[in-house]
Every structure is written in structure tokens, then in C-alpha cells.
Structure 1
Amino acid sequence: MTTIAFADCLAGVSGDMFLAACLDLGLPLNTLKQELAKIALSGYQLEAWTELKQGLSAHRFQVRLEAKHHHRPYKEIKAL
């Protein structure tokens, strides 16, 4: 049997919150990691944990970048 989830995000959705909700629905973190490995991106780590606040339990999800981003000044961007 195939399970399908449909999200109608008319006003948008936060990526980390959406993936945390998928984890709450039963998506294994290892499955997510395996699927993301198919697009050959590097330089990141995925972290997920459960938090309990005021009697409610939910997943938290974060993508940690391994490299620092170099910011360009406006003059460099304009020269492009």
C-alpha cells in the first residue's frame, strides 16, 4: 500500500517546520537522509530531536551548514 500526503500551502510553509511535521507523521530521519543523498549536495548535517513544551511533544528539525558563507559587498554584486 502506498501512503500519500498532500499539503496545500497557499500561504507558504517553513521548510524546517514542514520536515519536522513529516517526522511527527512517521517519516524516519534515515529515509529523509537517504533521499536527500540522491541529489548529491554536501556540506550540511541534519539534526532532529523531540521537545516537550507545556505537555505537548513535537519534533524539531534543523539543517546545519558546515561551511561559512562569504558575504559580498554591494559593489561586487553590482559588478557581476
Structure 2
Amino acid sequence: MPIWLTEWGWSGSEDAPAAQSAYVQETMASYYAIKDTYNLESIMMFTMIDVDYGLILADGVKKGPAYETFKNFIAVNPVRALW
């Protein structure tokens, strides 16, 4: 049975920009490492656009501190699309 993990992310504005980026890197690496063992098919961040939790800030244009980390991780560790 495939597993989908939903609504993961950092603690919001309480986390410094560097901590947000580190959390994204560490979490995605952890999930990537176990994806085949546990049939982990999808991981979904809490929100894409948000001032406290998003990769993109509330204006929908400016990128948050973890955006590049997320983008770079996916570029280095591609996975197949489900659709």
C-alpha cells in the first residue's frame, strides 16, 4: 500500500531562515532515503505560499528561505511523477 505524508513543514515564524532551510534539507533527505523501503509515494508540504510556512511568501512572488533548498534537492534527487 503506498504511503502519502501530508502537511509536513517547519514551525513557522519561530524558525530562523537558516533553520527552515536545514529542516527542508534534512526532512526531504530522510524521506528520500526510506521511500523504497516503505513505498513512500508522496510527501506534501503544509503550504506552498505563506509568510510563515511557505516556500513562497504571501505576495506569491518572493521566495522564502527554504525555496532554493527545496528546488535544489528535487533537482539532485528526481522522482517519477504520479500522473
- TM surpasses 0.5: no
Q: TM-score, normalised by structure 1?
A: 0.29
More strand by share: 1
